[in-house]
Every structure is written in structure tokens, then in C-alpha cells.
Structure 1
């Protein structure tokens, strides 16, 4: 398994393999610990209290997109173009000042508008919690650029340690508090805030660690230049968040806290997909930013070659999640959340398409405005369809299906936008034949595991899941070898034949 991941990350781009690996580790641990928190709180809190806690995180995440102004992406983009450590420290200082100011505005808005936000979501219990939660942006906003800084400065190992320890501290604070307080939402919120304050302080210190002992040098980067880059990213971030959170809003507003808990646990992308896309995106942004200045064709080639490498890791797990969604939901969250399996299947469909982010490629090619426009169109369509759904077809499944359909449509529009503006048919450069073989191998192996469960009559969800996983892994190795799948890095201009024959 270790050699497989090393080969995967090694094929991304020479010299960046270790960075991608450590970013992947940090994302993976963060996602797993977040999942453990959800599993624990689902059992320690009532559905209504747990739903209220999730609504707190939802409101914070929504406003974070607005008040961050696209600044987190600026760190990687501008640091990749500086010529000295002094200029790098100057860039970090300038961006951090902006983040501190926006964090103050964010915290004040969250505190003053807490009751109005609670009324908007139809849950009066949110008001006091949001006022306590207003401390979080003050603590976390100054450290939002730590990932971009550490990846660009090739210190992803330290980033991984920071992320793992901060998420572990959050898990311990939140879960222990929930157990000790009997699942009280207020106590759990205070515990989360305390962990965030410590995490933010350490993150800010870590942001300056690559430049310790270096004097800041004015490199000519102005606030106007930062805003010219950040605003299209900011708009795209808002539209993207509308796309990802519109469904949650309508469920929270019209279905209640209990159904919101079911929807939040069920309609979530599998952690591995988020880990891979986030890790690849973090590494590709500074790399493509450099390449776009000298070789746009190679810039596109690097992105396309990353598609197969990501799919070879994500697709087998995505297909497994689709086939065994009921067993996964019961094992993770309990029998009461079995109904969320349909939602989990729909969310896993996105992972079959969204395997490499478009943001690094389109940003490097100067297509940030096009990226934002596509997300705007997708967001408008999604909100309109959600309004119709809650009025005429009030169903969690319908809400999830609309979200998946519009998301897939947006991905197709992004493909078309890049192809049109670069005069290169993007899909022709993808290894379609190898992708088809990969999908066949994944599907066949999972069906074999399903057959074993049917024959043996296993009914216990965890046992069935373990047995199916063992069979699926063995069958995948056999079928993959028979189909000629070979996990190897694609270098230079080497791209597999794109004909599905």
C-alpha cells in the first residue's frame, strides 16, 4: 500500500512527491478525525441537539467563504512567484494583515446577527451558540494561509503534524465534553471554541516559521494586486459554497434539525475523495502557477495526467461506497441512520467525476473569471431547483439528486470552458480507455463481494462490510491484472490511448 501511494504521488510532478504525500496525510487524518467526531456525537447527543451543533458549523462555514475574500488561495499563488525569503515574508505579512481585519469583521457580524441567523434557519437555539462561536473567526482567520505557506515552502511534513495534532485536540475536547455534559450543545460549543483558539495560535506561529530570522522586503506586491487576484476567487468561492451548502440550507430550513442530522451524515462525499482532490489541488496550484508562465501546454498536460492517478485511488473506493452504502451508514452512525444510505450513494457519484480540481488549472491559465461564471450559473440553477423541490417534492432524496445533477453539469461546463479558451479538446488528452478498465474492475470486484453476502446470509452490517471488503480487494487485484491495469507514473508526454475499445 505504501509503494502504491508513493508511485501515485511520485507521478504528479518531479520534486513535489513528498509534498503531495504529506498534504494527503494531513487531509486524511483531518477527515478521519472529523468522521470520528461525527460518529461519537451522533451517539452522545440527541438528533435535535446534534443537528443544532451541525447548524453552528454550517453557519460558520458559510460566512467563512464570504469573509475570507479568497485570501487563502493568494498565499500559494504569490509565494510561488517571489524571488527571495524576504519578499516571501513580506507577502505573508501583507496577506495576514488582511486576514486579521476580515476576521474581526467576521466575528462582529456573527455576534450581532446571531438571532437573525437563527431565525433564518428556523432554530431559536442557534442564537446563544452563535454568539459563543463568534470567537472562532478571531482565532482562526489569521492562520487560514498556513497550508498554502507550508506547501509552497516545502514544509508539508510540519503541516501534517500541525493538522493532525489540532484535529486530535478538537476531537478530545468535543467528545469528552459531550460525554461529561450528557450531550449539551452549549458545552460542546465552548469546547470547540477552546480547541480553535489553541489551533489558531499555533497555526499563526507556524505560518512565519519558514521566514524566522528573515527581514520582510517590499517586493512590489500591492493590496490592489492582491484584490485583483482574490476577487474572482472570492466570487467563485461564494458560488461554490452555495452549490455545496444550498441543499443543507433548504433541509435545515424546511425539514427540521432531526432530518438535517440524517442529511448531513448521509449526503457527504467519501473522505478519500476529498483527501486526494485537496492534496493534488494544494500541490498543483504553485506548480501550475510556475508552468503557466513558460509552457501552457505542459501546464494542461500535468493536470490531465493527474486525472488517471487520482481515479486509480478514488474510483475503487467510490464504487465500493455506492454498492455498500447501507452497511457503511449503519456501521458508522447506527441503525437509525440507515435511511441515509441513498443520500450517501448519490454523494459518491460525484466522486466518479470530481477527481482533480479545476481551480489550480484555471487559475494558472488566467481563467479565474470563467471559473467563477460557471459556478454562478450552477448555483443559480441549483437554488431554483431546490425551491421547486421543497414546494412540490419535499424529499431528502430529491434534494440530494438535484445537488448531484447540477454539480455534474457544472463539471461539464468547466471542461468546455478550458477547452474553448485553450483551443485544446481537454477530453482528448484524458486516458479514457484506462479509466474505463478501472471502472469495470472496480464494479466487478464489488459485485463479487455482494454475491458472497447474499450466499452466506450475513446480516450484521460491520461483519458484512469486512467480508465484502476482503473479497472486493482480492477480486480487484485479479480482475485488474486480467484487464491489464498497471499502476505506474505517467511522465512527460506519455498519456494512455484515449479510445475506449
Structure 2
């Protein structure tokens, strides 16, 4: 096992996969710190107060897609296609555009705070949104710092920046909740202060890679950026509806307390988010280059990344599905055990959504098709949610609808890429290896479940630790028997500058 792991790590060195690993580490630490924040606030704040704070973040995250105009994706896409001497000019133009939209976002959030509070059925939300309105003004100008550092191969800097930013946020938010007895307004102010500090460092980092390089004015215009960003923006709007529809209906018709349960329970497994976002961030500039020279290899790189991602995500996803009740109680307390069904449903998505389609379809010029699929998914989701709250009002039904429509959208994306590129993606995926991986994951988790049943362990944290130990050992044994191990890349399989 050590030999296989050493070979795999050796294969990562020096390639774009190394950048993906660094980004993944930063995302992992960030997600862990975010989870610690949720765990702490779930215990320091009453469910209604915690739900109010989550509603503030929900409004910001959903409107962020609308006001960003798809501009953050421009950084890595265009920086990968211009010389380094033009980089400062490109970053400056995009930063100006993002800053303008940040001002508009902050003003709109401040002025419409009471209307949004009325729409979501929580009168306390208005004051919180006004306190929070400084965040878009601070964070929008640094929306592209990740794209800049990845395109300039400074993923190590990004890892440090993300980790320190989340650590500052953790200390500020949890400290405010502890000192002020869980007051959501105090927690909101603390989050805003941490965001301003992070934004100042992020803006400095955006220009750091171009120090010592003689700047040249880029020929790219604001119109060029908008022509690329608008299809992404349209898809973002539809994605905004998809990601926010379920939470909107829960907030509107179920209240702040149930919103807290839904937010804690219906969350994708952190590791899946880490892997997909990290791989997607690195794939975009890489596939953008390949699409200009070798379209077939562009698709091949994307397909080969599926198994590598699944080998990390699937064992954990299956474990989360099997042990959802123990995980929810361990993380958030006994009062959130009812969210285990929601967590299981959310974890199902991780078995399919392994590598994002956005970088592939953007590089191949299929952004409009990407947007159309999201539009169809959004319309279907809203219609089904309306029916659910009218005839079957339950959190489980809302979550099931979200999962079903999301999986249907993924299938449509597969079909769209296959049809427009005349390349059958299903045939290029390592389906046999993926099947063996799923068998090994399921077998190891069932073994852990059997141990809990035999020993009669009832304490959730103890049961979770025991099951995890057994599952890991069984996965190593079964995986070895099925031939599941990381192998060094063979010559000619993937060039050194490709992500695998």
C-alpha cells in the first residue's frame, strides 16, 4: 500500500494535478473550518437565531451569482490565453468590473433588506442584511483571486490565503456568538469584519504574481470579457434558481427553525465539494489551452479525471449514506438527528457529480448548451417545489425533488456533450473500475454496520469511530483483492502538464 501511494504521489509532482492537490488541500481546510463554525454555532445559538444567520448567508450566496455576471470565471480563462506581461492589465480591467458590480450589489442589498425579510417570512432578517451589506462591496473586487493564482501557478499561495481567511472567520464568528450569547446580529457583524480583512489581503495577492514583469496594455476589451461571461452568467442565474429554490421554499413555508435543520442536513459531503471544485478550478485553464490544439485530448483529460476523483469521493460518500444518523448527531447534536434523511439524499449526488461539466463545456464552446440544461432543470425544480409545498409539505420531499432534478440535469449534460462533440462519453469512462470501486466501498461500510449491530454500541460518536476503523480496514482488504490501487502513470497515458 505504501508503494502504491508513493507511486501515486510521485505521479502528481510537477503536473497540473499537483495544483489540483494544493487547491484541494486549501478547500479541505476551508470546508473543515466552515464545518467547525456550523458545529459551534449549532450549539451556541438557538435554532431560530442560527436559522436567521443562515438565511443571511443564503441571501448573499444566491444573489452573488446574479451580481457577479459570470466575471470570476474570466480570470483563469483569459489569463491562460495571454502572456504574463498582459496579466496585470487583464486583472485590473476585471477587478474594476467586479468592483462596480460589488457597489451595486451592496446598495441593492441594503435598500431591499426589509422586502427580502418579508419575502422569507422573518422580520429579524432585515436588520441583519443591512449589517451584512458591506460584504459584497469588500469581496466582489477579489472574486477572481483564485483564478489569478491558479492560472499563474501559485496554488500554494492560494492554499495559505484560503486557510488563513477561514481561520480568521472562525475565530471572529464563534467568538462573537460566545461573547454575545448567540445574538445573530453580533455574529453577522463579526463575519463582515472578517470579510473586509480577507478582501484586503486578497486584493494584494491578485497582483502579486505580476511583480517584476514589465506590464503591457492588453488588447482584450470589456466587451470581450462580457461576451465570454454572459453565457456563464445565464447559466449562473439558472444555477442560482437550482441551488436556492429548495432553501427558499423551506424558509418561506417552514420557518427559521426548520431552515436550520434543512441547512445542516441537506448539505453535500464536504470532501465532494472540495474535490469537484479543486479539479474544476484547475481543469478550466488546462482545457482552455487544449481546446485550441487537440479537442479529442481535451475530452480525454476530462474523462480520465473521473476515476481519480471517484476513488477519493465514493468511499466517503457511501460511508456518509450508511452512517448519516451518527454523523448528524456527532456534528450538530441530538436535535439535528432528523436531518440524517436529508444528508443521505444530498450524499447521493456525490456518486454522480464527480467532475464538473463547466470547464469542459466552456472550453469546447458549449456554454449556451450548459445554460439551456440549467434552465430546463430550474423550471422543473421550481414547478415541483410549488406542488410539494401545496400537497406534500415536508423537508424530505423538498430534498428528494432537489436530488432528482439535479441528477436529471447531469444526465442531460452528458447527452449534450456527447451529441455536439460526436464523442460517446460513456464509452470513454472507466465504468468497470468505477463498479469495482463502488463494490469495495459498499462492502466495507456494511462490515462496519455489522460490528455496531453485534456490539450494541448506541453512543453516536463511539459508533462512528468504530465503524470508520472497520470500514477503512475492510476497504483496504477488499480494494486490494479487486485490484483497486493508485498506479503510476504510464508513458503516453497523460502528458506531464495534464491533470489526471
With normalisation by structure 2, the TM-score equals 0.96
Q: Go from structure 1 to structure 2 and tell me whether the alpha carbon gap of 1:135 and 1:88 turns closer, same or farther (over 3 Å shift).
A: same
Instruction: Classify the secondary structure of the residue corresponding to 2:393.
Output: coil
User: Which residue is equivalent to 2:145?
Assistant: 146
1:31-46 equivalent positions in 2, closer than 5 A? 31-46=31-46
Highest relative contact order (Cα 8 Å, sep 6+), 1 or 2? Answer: 2
* CA RMSD, Structure 1 to Structure 2 (Å): 1.6
Q: CA deviation at 1:219?
A: 2.4
Ranges of 4+ aligned residues in structure 1 off by more than 4 Å? 1-14, 489-495
How does 1:255-334 map onto structure 2 within 5 Å?
255-334=254-333
Give the 3-state SS of the residue equivalent to 1:366 in structure 2. coil
Superposed displacement of residue 213, structure 1: 3.8
- Deviation of 1:399 after TM superposition, in Å, equals 0.3
The whole-number CA distance in structure 1 between the counterparts of 2:409 and 2:136 is 30
Matches for 1:100-499 after TM superposition, within 5 Å? 100-489=99-488, 494=493
Distance 2:425 2:12 in 1: 18
Comparing 211-220 with 189-198, greater Cα deviation is found at 211-220
Task: Provide the rounded CA distance (Å) in 1 between the counterparts of 2:5 and 2:242.
Answer: 31
* Offset, 1:194: 0.4
- Take 2:12 and 2:379, find their aligned partners in 1: how far apart are those partners? 35
User: Could you say what secondary structure the match of 1:292 adopts?
Assistant: helix
Tell me, in whole angstroms, the C-alpha distance in 2 between the residues paired with 1:49 and 1:7. 50
Q: 1:99 to 1:338 in 2, by over 3 A?
A: same
Counterparts of 1:19 and 1:48, CA distance in 2 = 41
Q: Is the 8 A contact 1:12 1:302 kept in 2?
A: no
Per-residue CA distance 1:99-144 (angstroms, 9 max, x = gap): 0100000000000000001111010100011011010011101101
For 2:9 and 2:172, locate their aligned partners in 1 and report how far apart those are by CA, in whole Å: 34
Paired with 1:298 and 1:348, the residues of 2 have a C-alpha distance of 31
Give the corresponding residue for 2:66.
Answer: 66
- Distance, in Å, in 2 between the alignment partners of 1:309 and 1:72 is 26
- For residues 68-90 of structure 1, give each alpha carbon's deviation from its aligned partner in whole angstroms, at most 9, with x where no partner exists: 0001100000000002x221111
Question: Offset at 1:241?
Answer: 2.1
- Is the Cα contact below 8 Å between 1:79 and 1:91 reproduced in 2? yes
Paired with 1:36 and 1:430, the residues of 2 have a C-alpha distance of 36
Matched residues in 1 for 2:28 and 2:440: separation? 25
Q: Report 1:13-52 matches (<5 A).
A: 15-52=15-52
Distance in 2, matches of 1:405 and 1:12, equals 35
Map of 1:498 onto structure 2: none
Post-superposition offset of 1:12: 7.5
Q: Is the 8 A contact 1:6 1:17 kept in 2?
A: no
- For the 8 Å contact 1:13–1:302, the answer to whether it is kept is no
* Native 8 Å contact 1:382 1:406 kept in 2: yes
Mapped contact 2:12–2:18 kept (Cα < 8 A) = no
The alpha-carbon distance between structure 1 residues 111 and 492, as it changes in their structure 2 partners (threshold 3 A), is: farther
**Is the 1:6–1:21 Cα contact (8 Å) retained in structure 2?**
no
Tell me, what secondary structure is at the counterpart of 1:486? coil
Secondary structure class of the residue paired with 2:293: coil
Deviations 1:324-383 (A, max 9, x none): 000000000000000000000000000000000000000000000000000010010001
Give the Cα–Cα distance (whole angstroms) in 1 for the partners of residues 62 and 36 of structure 2.
Answer: 23
Shift in alpha-carbon separation, 1:224–1:297, aligned structure 2, 3 A: same
Q: Look up the match of 2:80.
A: 80
Q: Report if the CA contact (8 A) 2:66-2:240 is conserved.
A: no
- Does the 8 A contact of 2:5 with 2:486 survive in 1? no
SS of residue matched to 1:293 = helix
Shift of 1:16: 1.2
- Contact 2:329–2:460, Cα closer than 8 Å, also in 1: yes
Residues in 2 aligned to 1:5 and 1:174: alpha-carbon distance in whole angstroms: 38
Is there any run of 5+ residues in structure 2 with no aligned partner, and where?
495-500
SS in 2 for 1:306: helix
Distance 1:494 1:278, change over 3 A: same
Deviations 1:191-214 (A, max 9, x none): 000000000111001100011244
- Distance in 1, matches of 2:474 and 2:97, equals 53
SS of 1:329's equivalent?
helix
